[in-house]
Amino acid sequence: MGDWDTSSPLLLGNGDFPAWTLEIDLPAADSFEYKYGLYDPAAKRWIDFELGPNRRWANLEANGHPEFFILSDEYFQSSLAPWKGAGVAIPVFSLRSEKSLGVGEFRDLHLMADWAKKTGLRLVQVLPVNDTTVNYTWTDSYPYSAITVFALHPLFLALDGIPGAEKVIGKKALADARKRLNQSQTVDYDEVINLKKSWGRKIYDAQASVFLKSPEFQTFFEENRYWLEPYAVFCYLRDRYQTADFAQWKEHAVYHADLLTALASPDKPTYPDVAFFYFQQFYLDQQLRQATEYAREQGVVLKGDLPIGIYRHSVDAWVAPRLYNMDGQAGAPPDPFSENGQNWGFPTYEWDEMAKDNYQWWRDRMTFLSRYFDAYRIDHILGFFRIWEIPIRQVEGLMGRFRPALPVTLEEFQSRGISFDEERFCQPFITQMLLEEWFDGDADWVRQTFLTETAFQQFAFKPEFDCQRKVEAFLETLP
């Protein structure tokens, strides 16, 4: 080992986290041995050193001449045991307590943290908690189909956790609704979400002039404006047009920044309606962060869930459609559990487009989740590398393909003595025998309605039925 000063620690720089870099001038030597450690500069002490034998690098000097070497290492071999802990996964809506209003709320995570601590569990994972509101009905209850990857779901807002709420609603009215809704064996999604919306609006109207000027709200707004303002305008337009399908929003169908000025400026008549959604998100953020901090105090990790896809009619798709392949649908190929595969309906990602700004949308999304969670699960993480993509014209998952995927070339067919027949290999193969086998007594009706004969007892779909979407639309018209 070279003779060099080891009286002080060598601190690594992390300007490009998580890569740590260090430059060292070393005297001439045949080899160099070293270990990594964790050093606390404030306490001026070592916290941890690597286990095992020293790392070693030889040939520091080649042919008697000094050289410049770049050495890359991985896997810090900590002497500290890796963190391990048992946990439980649960949707927030199922955490209904005596203080809830018909459904589990962020405030109920305090009780869940208490229970986890008592039972020795160290981690609580929740299903996605983002806003899924489209119709204000139970059809919005699927947590993996959010209209935003940032905003939290108003279903989980504890109204009586808002200062002054009980005075506006009335203690008796709140107690009666709580008793009635909590007695239900199931969640009355429709009534709960609409009641929270109407009562939430009354509370907001009663204190909007003070709330919107408060320093706490102003700080929250500026920190989150990049997503909060488009989200609030989207929600306002969704309610105005009675649909989240922004393609039906007439002059508002295509997003541009001027819409925010036109609809979200404080001097516009639409501002009170837009700012109501600021109000909801402010208190949702406050209540979830309080739950997170409480769980930490109990030694419980609160873990989130990041869905791989986005809803087709979402704020994200409206604001930046270039980032998504709206002609594709994410899903899963056929398997023993689903012979037709799965079609989740989410658009797939345009990764080349996302790369142009260094994946800012993904970095913002993951950073925002860390506001609430100490860890999070990435749903279908394989989708970062390849995804099962189904054309928008099709319905079933079996009609998809992996993207990206390695193609089979004509040369590969030829090298194996296979004559490539594009029509036979790439188009539906329909014969009279197959029609009778599949449809029995309805075979003639199927043939006459959907097919045209291309050869003796061989058929192809008529142009008006040449994809699953067209067939599905036709079948929906039948009595």
Kindly indicate the confidence band of residue 113, based on its pLDDT and cuts at 50, 70 and 90.
very high
pLDDT exceeds 90 at position 119 = yes
Average pLDDT score, the chain: 91
362-395 exposure pattern, b = at least 16 Cβ within 10 A, e = fewer: beebeeebeebbeebbeebeebeeebbbbeeebb
Q: What is the pLDDT of residues 185-200, one digit of tens each?
A: 899 999 999 999 999 9
Find the mean pLDDT for residues 337-351.
Answer: 94
Residue 243: CB partners within 8 Å, gap ≥ 6? 134, 249, 313
Query: Looking at residue 17, what is its pLDDT?
Result: 55
Give the start-to-end residue ranges of the domains of the chain. 1-82, 88-399, 422-476
Give the residue, 10 or 173, on which the prediction is more confident: 173
Q: Which CATH architecture has domain 88-399?
A: Alpha-Beta Barrel (3.20)
Query: Looking at residue 365, what is its pLDDT?
Result: 94
pLDDT exceeds 80 at position 25 = no
CA distance 184 to 256: 44
Query: Looking at residue 65, what is its pLDDT?
Result: 61
Q: What is the pLDDT of residues 59-71, one digit of tens each?
A: 655 555 666 777 7
pLDDT exceeds 90 at position 463 = yes
